[in-house]
Amino acid sequence: MNFFIAAIAWLFDPAHYTGAGSIPSRLLEHLGFTLVTLVFASVIAIPAGYYIGHTGRGRRVAILLSGGLRALPTLGLLTLVGLWVGIGLEAPYVALTILAIPPILAGAYTGFEAIDRATIDAATAMGMSGGQVVRKVEMPLGLPLLIGGLRSATLQVVATATLAAYIADVGLGRPVFEGLKTNNYDEMLAGSILVILLALVLEGIFALATRLALRVVPTASGLQPDLTR
């Protein structure tokens, strides 16, 4: 209990809100790192997931690949990539992008697979091309599950990006590792609390986004005749 009170006191110390290593700057670093990682992973995973979900090809490979990537130990992967590319931000970006791909990939292709086949057949019968079916039917209807995949990837990256401070001076992991090195458990616990709070805030944002997507989905495709124009 004393450690927790001391950590709260550390968080409210005005000295920790100014300078290069302040809490706001570390928070922005962590958010920026997370955002860039998710963009990299999404550029790879979303098109691949849409292709798998639309065509049905490569699903078994995707499942095996996703399962294998999920099983990788984060710290071990960070260390391995760090030895390969050197100390700096490149290693955490590469490692966490690899770890963020599986949930986004799964969200993309399961979103398409969950759509009632009769809906796809109706769109095709109305004269929609394959591309139009993807853009105007499958993508809107699959959006909630894609958001779910992004949500899982975001929470995973936010949590594991803390380990990026092990090989790079970035993010909310710095207070954790600095506290560990100096036996300053107040700082270490305070850094952990910041990561937890950030994860909870982002969880709430994605939960809201999912609810909004579910409201939009019934009218998103519509299957109105003018959608084929």
Is 95 inside a domain boundary?
yes
Is 229 inside a domain boundary?
no
Cα(19)–Cα(212) distance, integer angstroms: 39
Cα(180)–Cα(174) distance, integer angstroms: 10
CATH number at residue 132: 1.10.3720.10
Average pLDDT, the chain: 84
At 63-75, the pLDDT tens digits run: 888 777 777 777 7
Is 137 inside a domain boundary?
yes
Is 191 inside a domain boundary?
yes
Is 15 inside a domain boundary?
no
One-letter amino acid for residue 109 of the chain: Y
**Domain boundaries, position 110:** 2-8+24-222
Is 132 inside a domain boundary?
yes
Q: In the prediction, which pLDDT does 106 show?
A: 92
Q: In the prediction, which pLDDT does 229 show?
A: 38
Domain count, the chain: 1
At 135-174, the pLDDT tens digits run: 888 888 889 999 999 999 999 999 988 888 877 778 898 8
Higher pLDDT, 119 or 221: 119
Cα(54)–Cα(109) distance, integer angstroms: 8
